[in-house]
């Protein structure tokens, strides 16, 4: 299962992954924002990047509804993917070992891989589920298995 029609963007600075993934998800849902504007709205900064709370607030202020959850699991992600909704996650990057936002756009059941539109590593970045699951936390390991699903309308039924 994979969502194919997500416009992909590379992040322009080390700390702009948050605004960049919001841009991808917002455009998928039909609203356009510049990365610069989203970075300002998210209060993204070189020292701490972007907080989960600011990401959710920007989604709400842009007119979307959202569902955020910590201590999630694969079943939670698949629920939104089944509804053709990409999901934003924060995980510890394999390459930099730092906290990093990405967009979950699919799951390959045969190979047990999560498929990301990752603003630093490419539009179809595959990671083994077991590896991703162990790294699905922020840089300081204070927020584990967090995701943000952004959507339009009152509910998902």
Q: What is the pTM of this model?
A: 0.94
What is the chain's mean pLDDT, rounded? 92
The average pLDDT across 51-76 equals 94
The average pLDDT across 119-134 equals 96
Contact 14, 51 (CB under 8 A): no
Is it the case that residue 140 has pLDDT exceeding 80? no
Q: Does a structural domain hold residue 7?
A: no
SS3 9: coil
Is it the case that residue 141 has pLDDT exceeding 80? no
- Point out which residues pair with 68 in neighbouring strands: 148
Number of domains, the chain: 1
Contact 106, 123 (CB under 8 A): no
CATH code where residue 42 lies: 3.90.70.10
pLDDT at 155: 64
The average pLDDT across 75-103 equals 94
Is it the case that residue 157 has pLDDT exceeding 60? no
Contact 96, 89 (CB under 8 A): no
Q: Does a structural domain hold residue 78?
A: yes
For the CA atoms of 67, 27, 44, 149, the dihedral, rounded to the nearest 10 degrees, stands at: 10
Range with lowest mean pLDDT among 21-35, 94-108, 141-155 = 141-155
- Token pair of 59, please? 């989604």
Q: Does a structural domain hold residue 146?
A: yes
Q: Does a structural domain hold residue 6?
A: no
Q: Does a structural domain hold residue 101?
A: yes
User: How far from the centroid of its chain's Cα atoms is residue 150's Cα?
Assistant: 10
- Token pair of 66, please? 């959202």
Strands (E), 19-132: 65-69, 87-92, 99-108, 113-118, 122-128
pLDDT at 90: 95
Q: Computed over its alpha carbons, how large is the radius of gyration of the chain?
A: 14
- Rounded percentage of the chain residues whose pLDDT exceeds 90: 76
pLDDT at 139: 80
Q: Does a structural domain hold residue 4?
A: no
Q: Does a structural domain hold residue 29?
A: yes
- Rounded percentage of the chain residues whose pLDDT exceeds 70: 97
Q: Cα–Cα distance between 117 and 77 in angstroms, integer?
A: 14
Q: Cα–Cα distance between 114 and 111 in angstroms, integer?
A: 9
Q: Does a structural domain hold residue 123?
A: yes
Q: Model confidence at 156, in pLDDT bands (50, 70, 90)?
A: low
Domain limits for position 135? 17-151
Contact 132, 53 (CB under 8 A): no
């Amino acid at each position: 299962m994979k969502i194919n029609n997500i416009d992909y963007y590379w992040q322009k600075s080390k700390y702009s992954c948050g605004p960049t993934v919001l841009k991808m998800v917002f455009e998928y849902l039909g609203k356009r924002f510049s990365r610069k504007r989203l970075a300002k709205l998210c209060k993204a900064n070189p020292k701490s990047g972007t907080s989960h709370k600011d990401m959710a607030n920007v989604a709400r202020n842009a007119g979307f509804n959202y569902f955020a959850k910590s201590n999630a699991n694969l079943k939670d992600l698949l629920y939104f993917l089944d509804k053709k909704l990409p999901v934003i996650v924060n995980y510890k990057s394999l390459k930099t070992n730092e906290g990093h936002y990405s967009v979950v756009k699919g799951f390959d059941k045969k190979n047990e891989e999560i498929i990301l539109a990752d603003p630093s590593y490419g539009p179809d970045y595959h990671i083994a589920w077991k590896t991703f699951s162990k790294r699905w936390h922020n840089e300081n390991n204070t927020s584990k298995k967090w995701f943000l699903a952004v959507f339009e309308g009152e509910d998902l039924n």
